[in-house]
């Protein structure tokens, strides 16, 4: 069986709400997660919502990492999809740790499964 990519879907509960509302911190940490995975960053886009919340998208040669935060309920949702020979799981674990997440839910999907 050959797969084209790996897709992680994260629902991160009981995170530090101050971190979840810090655009610069989240941008830096998502880029750092991409580096840790061995991905090649092409572009980063980030937006701070008012009164709270942040979205960050890191486009990498191997696909993308994204996060959307909801500080008011101490929650973040993230989507990490990669193709190629990189360590996506290391990026997932790094993000969970940096958000000080106490209750992560992680789903892993193999994408483009070819039999």
pLDDT at 115 > cutoff 80: no
Please write the tens of the pLDDT for every residue from 43-84.
999 999 999 999 999 999 999 999 999 999 999 999 999 998
Whether 61 is catalytic is no
In whole angstroms, what separates CA 105 from the centre of its chain? 13
Residues 40, 50, 64, 83: which is the catalytic one?
83
Classified by CATH at the fold level, domain 5-111 comes out as 3.60.90
pTM of the shown model: 0.94
E-strand stretches of 14-74: 41-48, 54-60, 63-70
Whether 40 is catalytic is no
| Rama region for 46: left / alpha / beta (φ>0; ψ in -120 to 50; rest) | beta
Whether 105 is catalytic is no
Cis peptide before 98 (omega within 30 of 0): no
Residues 7, 15, 63, 101: which is the catalytic one?
63
């Amino acid at each position: 069986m050959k797969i084209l990519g790996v897709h992680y879907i994260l629902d991160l509960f009981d995170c530090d709400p101050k971190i979840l509302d810090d655009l610069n911190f989240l941008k830096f940490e998502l880029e750092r997660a991409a580096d840790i995975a061995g991905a090649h960053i092409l572009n980063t886009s980030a937006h701070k919502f008012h009164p709270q919340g942040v979205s960050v998208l890191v486009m990498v040669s191997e696909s993308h990492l994204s996060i959307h935060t909801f500080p008011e309920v101490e929650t973040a949702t993230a989507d990490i999809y990669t193709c190629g020979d990189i360590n996506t799981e290391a990026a997932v674990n790094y993000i969970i740790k940096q958000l000080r997440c106490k209750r992560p839910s992680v789903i892993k999907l193999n994408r483009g499964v070819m039999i």
